[in-house]
Chains A and B, each alone.
Chain A
């Protein structure tokens, strides 16, 4: 019997656009920046054409997208699995909510403070696990949100289970959607520059793939991990602060499992190969999850099952699959 195998070859335009030709013709330029531009255009146009119910869903999607990008960055480029996106959301949310509630600061001040300060706090909290292997990071991030919500309930800090009500809220309309979408685009742009074109990104990949080589190069391993965690925590804390001012309320639900598991699922569904994968995953999963709101915790079962299916059977993920189709063509050849 004749045996065949599938051969994959890079498309001509990809090969050309990797070199100096990229700046000489519009076609090659569009090949490189086209997908990014399309994404940005979609993100900026989408809010104008959806109903007010889905505008609300888009804001939540934005929050999850930021968390998922942070998770994907840590997991795929630094090798740290964070099972506690809720930690970032909780710290950022409580910080901005607390500043607004106790000190009456306006949200234009609280959100930046919460994003930077929260990221610092999270990084310090996670510091013990950073000099160690990845398993410990997963453990610590899993424990913190649960423990923090217990502490808040037990001590009654931040008014315990009641939460802080009556915080300053975003104006209604599409303004807040643009706020978070623009932050997402900026983060995506900077991160993809960082991991693809900067030395720092190269070192981070080394941290993931071969820690000994980083040590052998006399680089401070833990310091690089700290910086990476700070970046992810920054995005997560911003998302938390945003959520706080979206609802005008802070409570222990910010430390709930949803914020930990959905970003993981989104990043896994999207695919590990690019920084954009988690975004695609989140845009697929979060609307489905919003539509399933009536089914209560069955939603979490749904993401968990999707997560396991993708991790075990389709590790490539959606975006990596599409990227492969975009950059290469395949055909069968005789063996």
Chain B
């Protein structure tokens, strides 16, 4: 039972971490390798506003999300847009930006136990005799809420539909008058905001450390590769698969293997089904 509950929590953790990456890649076809950095940045900015400027928790979180989204938009508008369509340069440029952010934060002293976000609510409850604290319940609920929000956004709003159109066929989108650069910028900005939100919700469980940034990037990539790069439905399913796989290895084999599971998933998926679980649409493009 413990595995079931904590597996669910872990899976929604992964969904939160990876949904922004999957969205940005699915729509703008920009692999945003700065994703992990934006995750940490969201948490760090919240910490900064909360403890240095004494702004209430909710407002500092909101401010951090907005700033991270602006950084994401800037990243697209000023850097990635110039190398659009060249996957090699896109990866190097976005990874470079992410690395610069993360290592700069490390230099300013982002390690150890100083940087810690408080939980939103103290205490916890027992579900089937398993203790679960409120922070983890928040993760589950907000994960579900974000999924619903994204689904509504991409199915019922004009902007969301435009994003989807660009993902499916950029040229047809252009013919219909959709500004593909604007759509891609919005997608990257939303992806960044989602990364920040994930950071703010997940980081109270531990310290804000730079290594988490790299881990989040790898997990996001693992989920996206497994689900099919750019497929949100696939990403959700893949999160559950990887989430439970991680929980099982941690409980039955050894701890510290979170990362190895993610790596194995990437390798196995690439060998057996390179386009991922739901990557049918682009299947031919993935294999060369």
Contact = CB atoms under 8 A, between A and B. Distances in A.
A140 B225 CA distance: 10
Given A140-B266, A146-B214, A301-B100, A81 B88 contact: yes
B7 interface: no
B97 interface: yes
Contacts of A150: 256, 259-260
Contact of A143 (B88, B100, B266): B266
Nearest to A139: B221
Dominant SS among interface residues on chain A: helix
A219 interface: no
B288 interface: yes
B14 to A, nearest CB: 15
Most buried by A among B96, B217, B286: B96
Interface string A121-148: 0000000110111111011101110110
B270 A135 contact: no
A154 B257 contact: yes
A295 B263 contact: no
Interface residues of A, number: 45
A304 interface: yes
A307 B218 contact: no
Contact of B104 (A147, A211, A261, A301): A301
B20 to A, nearest CB: 17
A154 B257 CA distance: 8
Contacts of A265: 96
Contact of B288 (A133, A295, A311): A133
A308 B93 contact: yes
Classify chain B: how many residues form its interface, as a range.
35 or more
A257 to B, nearest CB: 7
Contact of B286 (A81, A132, A295): A132
Contacts of A268: 92
B83 A81 contact: no
Contacts of A139: 221, 225, 266
B92 A311 contact: yes
Interface of B: 31, 33, 79, 82-83, 87-89, 91-93, 95-97, 99-100, 103-104, 106-107, 214, 217-218, 221-222, 225, 229, 254-257, 259-260, 262-263, 266-267, 270-271, 274, 285-288
Given A139-B225, A143-B262, A298-B103, 18 more contacts: A79-B88, A83-B91, A128-B267, A132-B274, A135-B229, A142-B33, A142-B221, A144-B263, A146-B214, A146-B218, A153-B256, A154-B257, A264-B92, A297-B106, A308-B93, A308-B96, A308-B97, A308-B100
8 contacts: A132-B287, A134-B87, A140-B266, A147-B263, A154-B256, A268-B92, A308-B100, A313-B82
For the complex of A and B, the 6 pairs showing the least CB-CB separation, nearest first, are A304-B100, A154-B256, A147-B263, A300-B103, A308-B96, A128-B270
